Amino acid sequence: MKRSSGARWSATVAVSALSLALITGCAEAGSDDSGDSKGSGSGSSAAAKALSATELKKLIIAEGDVEGYKVEATDASFPKAKSEVKVDKAECEPLAFAMAGLAPGDSSAEASSQATEEKKPSDTASDSLEDLASGEMEDALTDAMSVRMTVVGLSSYEGDGAEKTFKSVSDAVAGCAGGFTVAAQGEEQKLTGIASVKASGTGDESVRFSSTAPTEESGGEPVKVLTEVVRHGGTIATYYSVDLGSMLTGEDPRMPTPVIEAQAAKLK
């Protein structure tokens, strides 16, 4: 039975293997006392003039910008407007919006794209399943499915809007540590925990957080994804990343550094 787009998005936010449907169908995050990081930029956006939607579309990463990744339009299962996303705690809305590839604040314009890691053929790619031992088969399947999908969002703000938006995200990471419930297109998901992790340090300031939730696909076991929010002057960049490999191996998820660096370079 085909699942609704709302169900697929809700499950994706819940960080489960359902993210494989998004991928096939259409720097490492270490623990830290604070995920906030100051970059090398000027830091102030008080006099910033918001970029237009047309300008943002030219600045967001596109196919060919990130080696080893396929970049395309955001999957149709993700909400297209913040009105489609409902959160039980208003202070946690910026986190939910960032995880959906939407502007975390009241922006003047926004744009988004999706970057999916392209797997290179492994040494066992030419072997038939019959020729592989059980352990080799498991390793081959894990390797084939160990890809990262990242939804990138850009949003622009007038004056100090970007600074205020970034602060709302940073505050929410601390204030929503106990989790929150998010609903979209008729589907609801409880996130059981939000935790700050070390950010990339790109832009003027950046914050990264993990979100955890149990899912049916994981047998009720908690699974985790990462989101990073970066301010570049009057523009906010968001990265919501699903690391399928970490879900299969139980290791900590990793953010796609090449994607973040490529986007940061286009915003300089």
CATH number (domain holding residue 220): 3.40.1000.70
User: Is-above-0.85 flag for pTM?
Assistant: no
Give the number of C-alpha atoms closer than 13 A to the C-alpha of residue 147, restricted to the C-beta side. 21
Residue 203 has pLDDT above 50, yes or no: yes
pLDDT average, residue stretch 136-157: 77
pLDDT at residue 176 greater than cutoff 70: yes
The pLDDT of 202-208, averaged and rounded, is 98
Q: What is the band of 185 on the pLDDT scale with cuts at 50, 70, 90?
A: confident
Q: Is the pLDDT of residue 172 over 70?
A: yes
Cβ atoms within 10 Å, residue 83: 7
Q: What percent of the chain has pLDDT over 70?
A: 72
pLDDT, residue 140, reads 55
In this predicted model, which residue has the larger pLDDT, 245 or 1? 245
Distance CA 61, CA 259 (A): 8
C-alpha distance from residue 262 to each of 56, 59, 127, 150 (Å): 15, 10, 35, 13
Given this model, what pLDDT does residue 136 score? 61
| 3 state DSSP class of 168 | helix
What integer best gives the mean pLDDT of the chain?
81
> How many domains does the chain contain in total?
1
Q: DSSP letter at 29?
A: -
Strands 235-243 and 180-184: unpaired
Domain that holds residue 186: 5-266
